[in-house]
Amino acid sequence: MTPDRLYFPRAALAQQILMGFENQLQQATTLFAPRRKGKTQFLLRDLAPMAESQGFVVAYADLWSNKEDPERVICAALAKALHETSLLTRIETWWARPKRSLKGVKVGLGMDSASAEAELNEAGIPSIHELFERFRMAGKGKALLIVDEVQHLATRPAFENFTAMLRSLLTTSQGSVFAVFTGSSQDGLTSMFRRSKAPFYQFGSQLSFPDLGREFSEHFGRLYRETTGLQWEVEQAYRLYVARGMTPHYLRTLFTISLTQLISVKEADKIVWAGMVDEGQFTTLLQELPPLDQLLLRGIVAGSSLYADEYRRSLADELPSGQVPSTQQVQAGLERLRKRGLVANLGHGRWAVEEQALESFLRGLYSGLEAD
């Protein structure tokens, strides 16, 4: 990948995961974090390169790259990994041909996943069973399949058979093929891993993707000093980073704007946060929700007991009907929010806002406070 001076590496986390595989302590690890927490960059810039340097054959599949056909995405990832190890002899000559145009995609050596998928479309590549077996053999006990946004497999009944087949392939390859899954939806991961009838129930370990701490802000402080010879407002930037949901994207953008426009961190925050709110269309989103659903979002952020009699009675004065919502109405409202991808059901009556930028916006809206 292209070098990125702004990227803050997580080598220790990558090493922790790989040690579990190297020592046969686990077959799979699932990393969870909301969107924009840097999971994909970690996979591509830290985990995959380190795994390859330690002798793993690595296949990376992003299920959001083709939401209609996750099986094809994983097949393309396996084919690409095999191509790079020169073991998929059945299509070796096909890939070695001079580059040409295939449905608008330039193909040839050094292809990316999209190109590999296009080749799969035309070349009649082996089934996933054969690709997986070749992948297992290529790894010689050190094959690593990385599946990004794995919760997508739980979004449609049509994916159930493939999901079961994927688990079966991994189970029968225990000790030879390892897996790292990532997910950005708590609700989706619950459907995949935590319920007793879930397709990957109790498959591997689960690890919360850790937030970057003050060291991340200090990293930008060093870059700012190297570039300008001046001190950056590291502590102020860190406080704003925490208040805005601790998303790396926010702090990177804050740094870039303060550097390129030579403005204070606080002034840069106004620009960055306004852009994030506008991009998320949070105000419009709230206006589109029924009154009860808006109040339930507020209750989730406040940590209220959403089904409790006292809480439901408190909503009556704020609803157009003036009536106390029943527990069934509360449940229906929460399900509407869940289906829109706004909240996750954590079980036992606990709910959470899925996206931290939205949660940060809601906290500011309902408290009337801005981050200092």
For the beta carbon of residue 322, count every other beta carbon within 10 angstroms: 8
pLDDT range class, residue 35, cuts 50, 70, 90: confident
- For the chain, what is the mean pLDDT? 87
Q: Is residue 4 part of a domain?
A: no
Q: Is residue 121 part of a domain?
A: yes
| 176 and 116 belong to one structural domain | yes
Mean pLDDT value of segment 182-195: 81
Residue bearing the bigger pLDDT, 172 or 204: 172
Residue bearing the bigger pLDDT, 217 or 121: 217
What percent of the chain stands above pLDDT 90? 65
Q: Which range scores top for mean pLDDT: 78-92, 195-209, 226-240?
A: 226-240
| 142 and 91 belong to one structural domain | yes
Domain count, the chain: 3
CATH number at residue 293: 1.10.10
With CA atoms as reference, report the closest residue to 154 among 146, 143, 166, 144: 166
Residue 347, pLDDT score: 81
Q: Has residue 238 got a pLDDT over 60?
A: yes
pLDDT range class, residue 120, cuts 50, 70, 90: low
Q: Has residue 116 got a pLDDT over 80?
A: no
Residue 355, pLDDT score: 85
CB distance 108 to 97 below 8 Å = yes
Residue 125, pLDDT score: 59
| 203 and 294 belong to one structural domain | no
Which of 246, 280, 314 is the endpoint of a domain?
280
Structure tokens that stand for 127 in this block: 């089934």
| 232 and 334 belong to one structural domain | no
β-strand partners of 148 = 62
Distance CA 191, CA 199 (A): 8
Q: Is residue 2 part of a domain?
A: no
Q: What letter does residue 166 receive in the DSSP assignment?
A: H
Q: Is residue 360 part of a domain?
A: yes
Residue 107, pLDDT score: 38
Domain ranges, residue 149: 11-208
pTM value?
Answer: 0.79
| 196 and 248 belong to one structural domain | no
| 53 and 152 belong to one structural domain | yes
Question: How do residues 20-33 score in pLDDT, each as one tens digit?
Answer: 999 999 999 999 88
Q: Has residue 114 got a pLDDT over 70?
A: no
Q: Is residue 144 part of a domain?
A: yes
With CA atoms as reference, report the closest residue to 333 among 360, 372, 366, 294: 294
Distance CA 234, CA 144 (A): 38
Residue 108, pLDDT score: 39
CB distance 14 to 42 below 8 Å = yes
